[in-house]
Amino acid sequence: MSGNGYEEDGIWYPRVTSIVGIKAKPALYSFYASMPSFAAGEAMKEKSAEEGTLLHETVEAIFKKELVTVPDSIKPAMDAFMEFYSNNQIVVHKVEERLVSHKHRYAGTMDVLADLNGQLGVLDIKTSIAIYRDYQIQTSAYVEALKENPNMPELTRWILRVDQSKKCLHCGASLREKGGRQKIRKENGPCEHEWGPMTGEYEIKELKTFTSDIKAFLAAKTLWEWENEYWLTRLGY
């Protein structure tokens, strides 16, 4: 269970991402089903995670105002991020901050706390192909922990998705390469695709469903505790 939580002041807290992981993920199951074996799926998932981590860490370094060298492999995505960064008024307060909810007993690492165009909130960075609903319950946990500070102003949440792909010059389909796998999306009938250069994109989405999202997160936590009762008892949880 050591990888599923953090110890703070002698108390063990389950990790937000571990709790969220109890929820079914149909898209992930479909991915594994498309692989020749479970081992092949794990290898591709691990390589994809490494690529995503590189992009994620480079974005965070810029938020920290650190000098960074952008690898060529993620330059299109980083160009898109810099477009977002330049076109919005952003005041960053915290990056990669550990949060603890003493009320609900969990902990997690928030990506960014920032003012975005005059509004304070949690900004969560994703490098996925889409903005998935699971992100709502993850970010609600961070906001709930922050709200335990009585001086914390009202907060909102955003998902900032940064990615890159190639577009077909004929039909508009997109080719995404990640983890050594190529995936074509938005095909409109038969086409002998001619792919253009790799281009970056960003998507920013404000999440406005905090009440239902935190309810879902706490329900997931209850289920996670039930599932892991044997080990939690031995941890003195």
Question: What is the rounded CA–CA span in Å between residue 164 and residue 196?
Answer: 12
Q: Phi/psi at 235 (nearest 5 deg)?
A: -85, -5
Give residue 163's pLDDT: 95
Q: 173: how many CB neighbours lie within 10 A of its CB?
A: 18
* Chain position carrying tokens 């599923």: 4
110: nearest Cα among 124, 128, 91, 92: 124
Average pLDDT on 210-230 reads 97
Collapsing DSSP to helix, strand or coil, 220 comes out as helix
Cα–Cα distance list, 95 to 113, 196, 218 (Å): 7, 35, 25
Average pLDDT on 207-236 reads 95
Scanning the chain, the segments in alpha helix (DSSP H) are 16-20, 26-34, 38-63, 75-87, 134-146, 210-227, 229-234
Helix axes of 38-63 and 75-87: crossing angle, nearest 10 degrees: 40
96: nearest Cα among 124, 128, 68: 124
* Chain position carrying tokens 């990615």: 163
Average pLDDT on 90-95 reads 97
22: nearest Cα among 218, 208, 214, 232: 218
Name the fold adopted by 2-163+208-227.
Lambda Exonuclease; Chain A (3.90.320)
Q: Phi/psi at 80 (nearest 5 deg)?
A: -65, -40
| 0.85 exceeded by pTM | yes
Higher pLDDT among residues 1 and 101, named by residue = 101
pLDDT tens sequence across 130-180: 999 999 999 999 999 999 999 999 999 999 999 999 999 988 889 888 877
* Chain position carrying tokens 């989405």: 205
Q: Which two tokens stand for residue 34?
A: 């498309």
Give residue 2's pLDDT: 64
